[in-house]
Chain A
Amino acid sequence: MTLKHVLSGATLTLAAALPAAAQDVTFDEPIRFVTPYPPGGSHSLHAGIITTAAEPHFGQSLISVIRAGGGGAVGATEVANSPADGTVLLFGDPTINSLRPQVEELAYGTDSFVPVARINYSPAIFVARSDAPFATMEEMVAYAEGNPGDLVYSSDNLNGWTYTIFELLKARTGAEMTGVEYGGGGPAIARLLGGETMAYAGDISVVGEHIASGDLVALCVTDTARIEALPDVLTCPEAGYDVVFQFWRGVLAPAGTPDEVVAALSDGFETLMADEGFLRLIGRIGSSIQFADHEAFAELLSAEIDAMGAVAELVGATQ
């Protein structure tokens, strides 16, 4: 059972509950858009572009607030405890919104937020050094099985996205591999290029250049469809491994935010996502938009939360 199956299987969890009456909602004060990670990552980059272009679509400015700490838990907790009136929003992702609350003891839960809008998502790409003793997914798993624990791979953060992808692969194949958490995509890829580790799974914005330059070999894409930029690279299911996990970026409000406010915010993001200037900037950072409004996002998220619960059990990481 992949995440995608779960996503298509689970329906109508929240969708029926939300009658949209967004027209009359106006915002009297600037909206704080909280990024729970340090400046410089892809999250804060997206947040910078969103808040730069947002004002005409909300009738109010969005202020980018960077609230890093605890791998996202500090910012998320703060938003969860903020007034539920739509003036404080969290720029969330699967790590802080569906995985970690289920496997760690945090001061917020998966139900502390209501989904407002999904901005986009991207799969990870499994990569190996070009001089590694394997060049396909199958060879990599075979190597790991033949040399238990010798395959050392880079990952970003405990219970983060790249971390979970490898946990998923290990759980599916039973192969033993050794992961090292380097605290971020930058050092993780640096140590891979330096030869300290052999493999990694990361966003195309992190690994793409090094695949193009020939330093890294792409093994498979953690999605059910291939990606445009690398049309020859198999999806992981195509390669025979049921590892599908997309990293989404989305906006969430504190639980209890009135439905009409959520709907109005969702509408604001929908028109923003069609803004030409906004799309041009998003294109420049090599990203794209896969908008989902608050209803669609709520469905996707609740299915993902269930799936992550299952993953956590599979990996044996439940509290």
Chain B
Amino acid sequence: MHEMSIALSIVDAVESKAREEGAGSISGIELVIGKLAGIEPESLKFCFAAAAKGTLAEEALLVIEEPEGIGECGECGKRFPVSFYYAECPECRSLRVKIVSGEEFLIQSITIEEQEGE
């Protein structure tokens, strides 16, 4: 269940950014989690709710973009979708496949609420 410690580090990162910006709260967090990143988005969402309790991110809506895995063949250079690391090139059957997309794990952006009239 590394999703919990991941959720805590996300809360840490977005809170410190939001404080830097003088935000009253965080209303949205956009994450990019590649399909090969080793993170279950559903499990992360579940943990995030607990991790964000009592923080600026408590009310934040998590939006998760999940880029597909793409491999590039080391022999013939063909690019093709992969669902896991043991991919085989559909063109030349080589196993020398380099992952070029799908391992991303980023906090893309946060949306903060500036509390002026309150």
Q: Do A and B bind each other?
A: no
Give the B-binding residues of A (Cβ under 8 A).
none
Give the A-binding residues of B (Cβ under 8 A).
none
